[in-house]
């Protein structure tokens, strides 16, 4: 499991990035209301997509401590290589997941406008609904989202970096290595992760978690209910 410092690095990048982007998105969407008392325009979010993409780049960069910790956690020879293809592939998957947030928010804004309109609300009331969606401090939603991103992504990339290191050493040094799934057993773990705790498989084979193949904790190819907020970790060992 990555350190609290590694997770905090990602949390700060995610929370700062969301605040910066939401401010721009709120200005764009609320412009018709602020200028003409007209209904907010959700299409304004489209113009802010490059702003969010720049924030995603910063979140990806903030994952470096987790990647370095995961690489070192394999306890194998070799310096951390950020260009490792397995690491780069997983970072690309994370980028693709995070850049979808503007689309999600657009859908939420549209839903609030439709709900308010169907309820016969005034333009002022509908505008308030939209402001709540696009304001970081308006609810616990966005701070919680930043924390979820931090926990999920640090777990994912510490494990993927550890596996990348092990795969590299196994290939280069012809070593027989295997991996073990370790779950924090504190009555907060989900059933699927409790059942896989201690499972050991060859490096190149997946764990089976509720029937889904997962190469490591946080594997982005698995359903969200098996990866979001995951606290599990990977352990690399010699084949007995």
pTM over 0.85: yes
Model pLDDT, residue 64: 98
Residue 119 resides in a domain: yes
Q: State how far the Cα of 93 lies from the Cα of 194, in Å rounded to an integer.
A: 26
Q: What are the tens digits of pLDDT across the range 119-159?
A: 999 999 999 999 999 999 866 789 999 999 999 999 999 99
Residue 132 resides in a domain: yes
- CA torsion angle 144 145 151 153 (round to 10): -170
Residue 50 resides in a domain: yes
Model pLDDT, residue 138: 66
Q: Mean pLDDT, the chain, as a whole number?
A: 97
Residue 112 resides in a domain: yes
Q: What are the tens digits of pLDDT across the range 21-80?
A: 999 999 999 999 999 999 999 999 999 999 999 999 999 999 999 999 999 999 999 999
Q: What are the tens digits of pLDDT across the range 6-18?
A: 999 999 999 999 9
Is the CB of residue 29 less than 8 Å from the CB of residue 40?
yes
DSSP, collapsed to helix, strand or coil, labels residue 35 as: helix
Model pLDDT, residue 108: 96
Residue 133 resides in a domain: yes
Residue 114 resides in a domain: yes
**Residue range of the domain that includes 40:** 4-175
Q: State how far the Cα of 237 lies from the Cα of 151, in Å rounded to an integer.
A: 25
Q: State how far the Cα of 180 lies from the Cα of 73, in Å rounded to an integer.
A: 13
Is the CB of residue 120 less than 8 Å from the CB of residue 129?
no
Number of independent structural domains in the chain: 1
């Amino acid at each position: 499991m990555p350190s609290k410092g590694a997770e905090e690095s990602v949390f700060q990048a995610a929370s700062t990035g969301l605040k910066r982007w939401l401010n721009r998105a709120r200005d764009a969407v609320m412009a018709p209301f602020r200028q003409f008392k007209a209904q907010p325009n959700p299409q304004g979010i489209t113009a802010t997509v490059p702003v969010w993409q720049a924030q995603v780049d910063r979140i990806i960069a903030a994952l470096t401590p987790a990647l370095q910790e995961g690489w070192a956690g394999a306890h194998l020879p070799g310096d951390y290589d950020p260009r490792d293809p397995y690491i780069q592939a997983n970072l690309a998957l994370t980028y693709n997941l995070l850049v979808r947030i503007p689309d999600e928010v657009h859908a939420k804004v549209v839903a609030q406008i439709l709900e308010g309109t169907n309820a016969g609300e005034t333009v002022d009331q509908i505008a308030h609904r939209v402001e709540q969606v696009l304001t970081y401090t308006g609810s616990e939603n966005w701070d919680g989202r930043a924390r979820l991103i931090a926990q999920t992504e640090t777990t994912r990339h510490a494990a993927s970096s550890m596996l990348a290191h092990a795969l590299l050493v196994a290939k280069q040094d012809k070593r027989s290595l295997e991996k073990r799934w370790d779950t924090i057993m504190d009555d907060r773990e989900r059933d699927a992760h409790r059942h896989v705790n201690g499972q050991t498989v060859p490096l190149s084979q997946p764990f089976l978690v509720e029937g889904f193949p997962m190469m490591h904790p946080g594997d982005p190819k698995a359903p969200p209910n098996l990866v979001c907020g995951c606290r599990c970790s990977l352990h690399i060992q010699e084949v007995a």
